[in-house]
A = this chain, B = another copy of it.
Amino acid sequence: MPNIIVNGIGTIGKRVAEAIKKQPDMELMGIADVAPNTELITIKKNFLEETPVYASTEKGVEKIEEAGIKVEGKLKDVISEVDLVVDATPSGIDMKNKENLYEPNNVKAVFQGGSDSEIAPVSFNAEANFEDAKGKDFVRVVSCNTTSLCRTLKTVDENFEIEKVTANLVRRGGDPKQDSRGPINSIIPVTHVPSHHGPDVQEVMPYIDITTLAVKVPTTLSHVHMVTVELKEDKITSEDAIKAFQKDSRINLLSAEDGFNSTAKVMEKMRDMHRERNDMNEVGVWKETVTVDNGKLYWIHMTHQESIVIPDNIDAIRAMLDMENKETSIKKTNKALGI
Protein backbone atom coordinates (compact mmCIF):
# COMPACT_ATOMS: atom_id res chain seq x y z
CA MET A 1 0.00 0.00 0.00
CA PRO A 2 1.27 3.49 -0.79
CA ASN A 3 2.63 5.55 2.10
CA ILE A 4 0.99 8.95 2.43
CA ILE A 5 1.92 11.84 4.72
CA VAL A 6 -0.29 14.86 5.33
CA ASN A 7 1.77 18.03 5.81
CA GLY A 8 -0.11 20.89 7.51
CA ILE A 9 -2.82 19.97 10.02
CA GLY A 10 -5.48 22.67 9.80
CA THR A 11 -9.07 22.76 8.52
CA ILE A 12 -8.28 20.67 5.41
CA GLY A 13 -5.24 18.71 6.62
CA LYS A 14 -6.93 17.21 9.68
CA ARG A 15 -9.87 16.02 7.59
CA VAL A 16 -7.70 14.58 4.81
CA ALA A 17 -5.57 12.71 7.38
CA GLU A 18 -8.63 11.12 8.97
CA ALA A 19 -10.08 10.35 5.52
CA ILE A 20 -6.88 8.59 4.38
CA LYS A 21 -6.98 6.52 7.57
CA LYS A 22 -10.42 5.25 6.50
CA GLN A 23 -9.35 4.09 3.02
CA PRO A 24 -8.61 0.37 2.62
CA ASP A 25 -5.94 0.87 -0.07
CA MET A 26 -3.56 3.50 1.31
CA GLU A 27 -1.49 3.92 4.46
CA LEU A 28 -1.41 7.11 6.54
CA MET A 29 2.33 7.01 7.26
CA GLY A 30 2.27 10.20 9.31
CA ILE A 31 1.13 13.76 9.86
CA ALA A 32 3.47 16.74 9.87
CA ASP A 33 3.42 20.36 10.97
CA VAL A 34 5.78 23.17 11.97
CA ALA A 35 4.37 23.40 15.50
CA PRO A 36 1.63 21.94 17.64
CA ASN A 37 -1.83 23.44 17.33
CA THR A 38 -5.05 22.56 19.10
CA GLU A 39 -6.34 20.61 16.09
CA LEU A 40 -3.22 18.46 15.71
CA ILE A 41 -3.20 17.71 19.43
CA THR A 42 -6.90 16.81 19.53
CA ILE A 43 -6.91 14.44 16.54
CA LYS A 44 -3.61 12.84 17.55
CA LYS A 45 -4.95 12.08 21.03
CA ASN A 46 -8.34 10.86 19.87
CA PHE A 47 -8.03 9.09 16.51
CA LEU A 48 -4.43 8.98 15.36
CA GLU A 49 -2.77 7.60 18.51
CA GLU A 50 -0.72 5.19 16.39
CA THR A 51 0.08 7.62 13.59
CA PRO A 52 3.62 9.08 13.73
CA VAL A 53 3.97 12.86 13.96
CA TYR A 54 6.81 14.53 12.05
CA ALA A 55 8.17 18.05 12.43
CA SER A 56 8.40 19.96 9.18
CA THR A 57 11.07 22.39 10.48
CA GLU A 58 14.19 22.08 12.65
CA LYS A 59 12.60 23.94 15.56
CA GLY A 60 9.36 22.00 15.18
CA VAL A 61 10.57 18.92 17.04
CA GLU A 62 11.07 20.78 20.28
CA LYS A 63 7.89 22.86 19.94
CA ILE A 64 5.67 19.83 19.31
CA GLU A 65 7.26 17.75 22.07
CA GLU A 66 6.74 20.64 24.50
CA ALA A 67 3.01 20.19 23.87
CA GLY A 68 3.28 16.57 25.03
CA ILE A 69 3.17 15.00 21.56
CA LYS A 70 5.90 12.46 20.74
CA VAL A 71 7.75 13.43 17.54
CA GLU A 72 8.95 10.56 15.37
CA GLY A 73 11.49 12.71 13.55
CA LYS A 74 11.84 15.40 10.93
CA LEU A 75 9.78 15.24 7.78
CA LYS A 76 12.88 15.73 5.62
CA ASP A 77 14.53 12.65 7.11
CA VAL A 78 11.70 10.30 6.12
CA ILE A 79 10.54 11.99 2.93
CA SER A 80 12.33 9.45 0.73
CA GLU A 81 10.16 6.62 2.13
CA VAL A 82 6.98 8.47 1.22
CA ASP A 83 5.00 7.83 -1.96
CA LEU A 84 2.91 10.99 -1.82
CA VAL A 85 2.42 14.04 0.40
CA VAL A 86 -0.90 15.84 0.73
CA ASP A 87 0.27 19.38 1.37
CA ALA A 88 -2.31 21.48 3.23
CA THR A 89 0.10 24.17 4.39
CA PRO A 90 -0.64 27.87 3.80
CA SER A 91 -0.20 29.28 0.31
CA GLY A 92 3.45 30.26 -0.20
CA ILE A 93 4.77 27.64 2.20
CA ASP A 94 3.47 24.93 -0.14
CA MET A 95 5.56 26.30 -3.03
CA LYS A 96 8.69 26.28 -0.84
CA ASN A 97 7.91 22.70 0.22
CA LYS A 98 7.60 21.70 -3.42
CA GLU A 99 10.96 23.24 -4.37
CA ASN A 100 12.96 22.26 -1.28
CA LEU A 101 11.41 18.97 -0.24
CA TYR A 102 9.18 17.19 -2.76
CA GLU A 103 11.01 17.85 -6.05
CA PRO A 104 14.54 17.07 -4.79
CA ASN A 105 13.27 13.79 -3.29
CA ASN A 106 11.07 12.75 -6.22
CA VAL A 107 7.97 12.67 -4.03
CA LYS A 108 4.54 13.29 -5.51
CA ALA A 109 2.35 15.94 -3.89
CA VAL A 110 -1.27 17.07 -3.81
CA PHE A 111 -1.71 20.82 -3.19
CA GLN A 112 -4.81 22.75 -2.19
CA GLY A 113 -6.95 25.36 -3.93
CA GLY A 114 -5.50 28.26 -1.97
CA SER A 115 -2.24 27.90 -3.93
CA ASP A 116 -1.57 29.58 -7.22
CA SER A 117 -2.59 27.31 -10.09
CA GLU A 118 1.03 27.38 -11.32
CA ILE A 119 2.09 25.13 -8.41
CA ALA A 120 0.98 22.07 -10.40
CA PRO A 121 0.37 21.20 -14.05
CA VAL A 122 -3.13 19.93 -13.22
CA SER A 123 -5.94 21.64 -11.29
CA PHE A 124 -8.19 18.82 -10.22
CA ASN A 125 -11.80 17.90 -9.58
CA ALA A 126 -12.55 14.19 -9.37
CA GLU A 127 -15.72 14.28 -11.43
CA ALA A 128 -14.58 16.83 -13.98
CA ASN A 129 -11.03 15.74 -14.92
CA PHE A 130 -9.87 12.64 -13.01
CA GLU A 131 -7.94 11.36 -16.03
CA ASP A 132 -5.83 14.53 -16.31
CA ALA A 133 -4.16 13.66 -12.99
CA LYS A 134 -3.21 10.08 -13.92
CA GLY A 135 0.42 9.44 -13.12
CA LYS A 136 1.16 13.13 -12.51
CA ASP A 137 3.73 14.18 -9.89
CA PHE A 138 1.93 17.36 -8.79
CA VAL A 139 -1.78 18.06 -8.69
CA ARG A 140 -3.74 20.92 -7.15
CA VAL A 141 -7.22 20.12 -5.82
CA VAL A 142 -9.24 23.27 -6.51
CA SER A 143 -10.85 25.31 -3.72
CA CYS A 144 -14.22 24.64 -2.11
CA ASN A 145 -16.07 27.21 -4.24
CA THR A 146 -14.48 25.99 -7.46
CA THR A 147 -15.14 22.36 -6.48
CA SER A 148 -18.87 22.91 -6.11
CA LEU A 149 -19.02 24.81 -9.40
CA CYS A 150 -17.06 22.07 -11.22
CA ARG A 151 -19.26 19.27 -9.83
CA THR A 152 -22.55 20.88 -10.73
CA LEU A 153 -21.39 22.28 -14.08
CA LYS A 154 -19.84 18.95 -15.12
CA THR A 155 -23.18 17.27 -14.46
CA VAL A 156 -25.09 19.91 -16.41
CA ASP A 157 -22.60 19.89 -19.28
CA GLU A 158 -22.61 16.11 -19.57
CA ASN A 159 -26.39 15.97 -19.72
CA PHE A 160 -27.15 19.17 -21.62
CA GLU A 161 -24.79 21.46 -23.45
CA ILE A 162 -23.64 24.69 -21.80
CA GLU A 163 -23.40 27.91 -23.77
CA LYS A 164 -22.43 30.31 -20.97
CA VAL A 165 -22.37 30.37 -17.15
CA THR A 166 -22.79 33.27 -14.75
CA ALA A 167 -22.31 32.39 -11.07
CA ASN A 168 -22.80 34.80 -8.20
CA LEU A 169 -21.01 33.65 -5.05
CA VAL A 170 -22.05 34.62 -1.52
CA ARG A 171 -19.02 33.61 0.52
CA ARG A 172 -18.83 32.88 4.24
CA GLY A 173 -16.61 35.27 6.23
CA GLY A 174 -14.60 32.57 7.99
CA ASP A 175 -14.77 29.03 9.30
CA PRO A 176 -16.54 28.43 12.64
CA LYS A 177 -13.24 28.42 14.55
CA GLN A 178 -11.95 31.63 12.89
CA ASP A 179 -13.73 33.95 15.25
CA SER A 180 -11.50 36.98 14.81
CA ARG A 181 -12.19 37.30 11.09
CA GLY A 182 -14.68 39.69 9.53
CA PRO A 183 -16.90 40.87 8.13
CA ILE A 184 -19.17 41.65 11.03
CA ASN A 185 -22.44 43.27 10.01
CA SER A 186 -21.32 44.21 6.50
CA ILE A 187 -21.19 42.80 2.96
CA ILE A 188 -17.93 43.08 1.05
CA PRO A 189 -17.93 42.85 -2.75
CA VAL A 190 -14.94 41.47 -4.64
CA THR A 191 -14.38 44.55 -6.83
CA HIS A 192 -12.57 42.68 -9.59
CA VAL A 193 -14.91 41.09 -12.14
CA PRO A 194 -14.58 38.22 -12.82
CA SER A 195 -13.64 37.02 -9.34
CA HIS A 196 -10.84 34.42 -9.40
CA HIS A 197 -13.34 31.55 -9.22
CA GLY A 198 -14.39 31.66 -12.89
CA PRO A 199 -10.83 31.42 -14.23
CA ASP A 200 -10.20 28.69 -11.64
CA VAL A 201 -13.10 26.61 -12.99
CA GLN A 202 -11.50 27.02 -16.43
CA GLU A 203 -8.23 25.54 -15.11
CA VAL A 204 -10.24 22.33 -14.67
CA MET A 205 -12.74 22.71 -17.53
CA PRO A 206 -11.18 25.06 -20.14
CA TYR A 207 -14.15 24.54 -22.45
CA ILE A 208 -16.63 26.28 -20.08
CA ASP A 209 -17.40 29.97 -20.72
CA ILE A 210 -17.96 31.29 -17.20
CA THR A 211 -18.05 34.64 -15.41
CA THR A 212 -18.19 34.83 -11.60
CA LEU A 213 -18.96 37.66 -9.20
CA ALA A 214 -18.52 37.38 -5.44
CA VAL A 215 -19.37 39.03 -2.12
CA LYS A 216 -18.43 38.09 1.45
CA VAL A 217 -21.04 38.04 4.25
CA PRO A 218 -21.04 37.58 8.05
CA THR A 219 -21.69 33.85 8.33
CA THR A 220 -19.51 30.80 9.02
CA LEU A 221 -21.51 27.73 7.99
CA SER A 222 -21.27 27.58 4.19
CA HIS A 223 -20.88 29.46 0.94
CA VAL A 224 -23.98 29.85 -1.25
CA HIS A 225 -23.90 30.22 -5.06
CA MET A 226 -26.61 31.51 -7.39
CA VAL A 227 -25.96 30.04 -10.81
CA THR A 228 -27.35 30.88 -14.26
CA VAL A 229 -26.54 28.61 -17.20
CA GLU A 230 -27.47 29.49 -20.77
CA LEU A 231 -28.15 26.18 -22.53
CA LYS A 232 -27.50 25.37 -26.18
CA GLU A 233 -30.89 23.65 -26.60
CA ASP A 234 -34.17 24.98 -25.30
CA LYS A 235 -36.12 21.74 -24.82
CA ILE A 236 -34.80 21.00 -21.33
CA THR A 237 -37.13 21.13 -18.33
CA SER A 238 -36.37 21.69 -14.66
CA GLU A 239 -37.33 18.04 -14.03
CA ASP A 240 -34.57 16.97 -16.46
CA ALA A 241 -32.05 19.06 -14.54
CA ILE A 242 -33.20 17.76 -11.15
CA LYS A 243 -32.87 14.18 -12.43
CA ALA A 244 -29.34 14.89 -13.64
CA PHE A 245 -28.32 16.33 -10.27
CA GLN A 246 -30.00 13.41 -8.48
CA LYS A 247 -27.79 10.88 -10.27
CA ASP A 248 -24.57 12.51 -9.06
CA SER A 249 -23.39 10.78 -5.86
CA ARG A 250 -21.69 13.95 -4.62
CA ILE A 251 -24.68 16.24 -5.02
CA ASN A 252 -27.34 16.35 -2.27
CA LEU A 253 -30.72 17.59 -3.40
CA LEU A 254 -32.02 19.72 -0.54
CA SER A 255 -35.69 20.45 -0.08
CA ALA A 256 -36.72 23.75 1.47
CA GLU A 257 -40.29 22.47 1.55
CA ASP A 258 -39.16 19.60 3.78
CA GLY A 259 -37.74 22.11 6.26
CA PHE A 260 -34.16 22.40 5.03
CA ASN A 261 -34.61 26.01 3.97
CA SER A 262 -31.30 27.56 5.08
CA THR A 263 -27.63 26.68 5.55
CA ALA A 264 -28.26 26.43 9.31
CA LYS A 265 -31.11 23.92 8.89
CA VAL A 266 -29.03 21.78 6.54
CA MET A 267 -26.10 21.84 8.96
CA GLU A 268 -28.51 20.79 11.74
CA LYS A 269 -29.38 17.74 9.64
CA MET A 270 -25.67 16.88 9.40
CA ARG A 271 -25.53 17.18 13.21
CA ASP A 272 -28.61 14.98 13.59
CA MET A 273 -27.03 12.41 11.26
CA HIS A 274 -23.96 12.43 13.55
CA ARG A 275 -21.76 13.31 10.60
CA GLU A 276 -18.25 13.84 11.99
CA ARG A 277 -17.76 17.58 12.71
CA ASN A 278 -21.20 18.01 11.01
CA ASP A 279 -19.40 17.96 7.67
CA MET A 280 -21.18 17.80 4.33
CA ASN A 281 -18.84 16.53 1.61
CA GLU A 282 -21.59 16.87 -0.99
CA VAL A 283 -22.72 20.02 -2.81
CA GLY A 284 -26.22 20.85 -1.59
CA VAL A 285 -28.53 21.95 -4.43
CA TRP A 286 -31.92 23.33 -3.37
CA LYS A 287 -34.38 21.34 -5.47
CA GLU A 288 -37.00 24.06 -5.53
CA THR A 289 -34.56 26.56 -7.05
CA VAL A 290 -33.75 24.39 -10.08
CA THR A 291 -35.70 26.29 -12.72
CA VAL A 292 -35.64 26.45 -16.51
CA ASP A 293 -37.02 29.52 -18.20
CA ASN A 294 -36.51 30.67 -21.76
CA GLY A 295 -33.40 28.56 -22.41
CA LYS A 296 -31.76 29.40 -19.11
CA LEU A 297 -31.21 27.01 -16.18
CA TYR A 298 -31.07 28.57 -12.71
CA TRP A 299 -30.29 27.09 -9.30
CA ILE A 300 -28.90 27.88 -5.84
CA HIS A 301 -26.45 25.57 -4.08
CA MET A 302 -24.47 25.53 -0.84
CA THR A 303 -20.86 24.52 -0.35
CA HIS A 304 -19.60 23.36 3.05
CA GLN A 305 -16.24 25.08 2.77
CA GLU A 306 -14.43 22.92 5.32
CA SER A 307 -15.20 19.49 3.93
CA ILE A 308 -16.28 19.55 0.28
CA VAL A 309 -12.75 19.01 -1.13
CA ILE A 310 -11.90 16.01 1.06
CA PRO A 311 -13.17 13.28 -1.31
CA ASP A 312 -11.39 14.97 -4.22
CA ASN A 313 -8.10 14.90 -2.29
CA ILE A 314 -8.48 11.13 -1.88
CA ASP A 315 -9.36 10.60 -5.55
CA ALA A 316 -6.38 12.74 -6.59
CA ILE A 317 -4.09 10.34 -4.70
CA ARG A 318 -5.53 7.32 -6.56
CA ALA A 319 -5.24 9.05 -9.93
CA MET A 320 -1.63 10.18 -9.40
CA LEU A 321 -0.54 6.73 -8.21
CA ASP A 322 -2.47 5.02 -11.05
CA MET A 323 -4.41 2.94 -8.51
CA GLU A 324 -7.93 2.98 -9.95
CA ASN A 325 -10.07 4.44 -12.70
CA LYS A 326 -12.40 7.36 -12.00
CA GLU A 327 -15.59 5.42 -11.29
CA THR A 328 -13.96 2.90 -8.96
CA SER A 329 -12.02 5.56 -7.06
CA ILE A 330 -15.11 7.72 -6.52
CA LYS A 331 -17.07 4.67 -5.33
CA LYS A 332 -14.32 3.61 -2.91
CA THR A 333 -13.94 7.12 -1.51
CA ASN A 334 -17.68 7.59 -1.14
CA LYS A 335 -18.03 4.28 0.67
CA ALA A 336 -15.18 4.95 3.10
CA LEU A 337 -16.44 8.45 3.89
CA GLY A 338 -20.13 7.58 4.15
CA ILE A 339 -21.15 9.77 1.19
Contact = CB atoms under 8 A, between A and B. Distances in A.
Nearest to A178: B264
A103 interface: no
- Interface of A: prevailing SS: helix
Contacts of A260: 38
A73 B267 CA distance: 31
A277 B276 contact: no
Give the number of times this chain occurs in the complex, counting copies: 2
Interface string A259-271: 1101011011101
A176 B264 contact: yes
Interface string A220-264: 000000000000000000000000000000000000001110101
- Ranked nearest first, the 4 interchain pairs of A and B with the lowest CB-CB distance are A38-B259, A177-B268, A271-B277, A179-B264
B46 A176 contact: no
Interface string A172-205: 0000111100000100000000000000000000
A47 interface: yes
A138 to B, nearest CB: 29
A259 B180 CA distance: 13
Given A46-B274, A274-B276, A268 B185 contact: no
B179 A262 contact: yes
Contact of A179 (B38, B176, B178, B265): B265
A79 interface: no
Contacts of A277: 271-272, 274, 278
Interface residues of A, number: 29
Nearest to A42: B272
Nearest to A263: B179
A38 B258 contact: yes
A43 B273 CA distance: 7
Contacts of A265: 38, 177, 179
A99 interface: no
A37 B259 contact: yes
A14 interface: yes
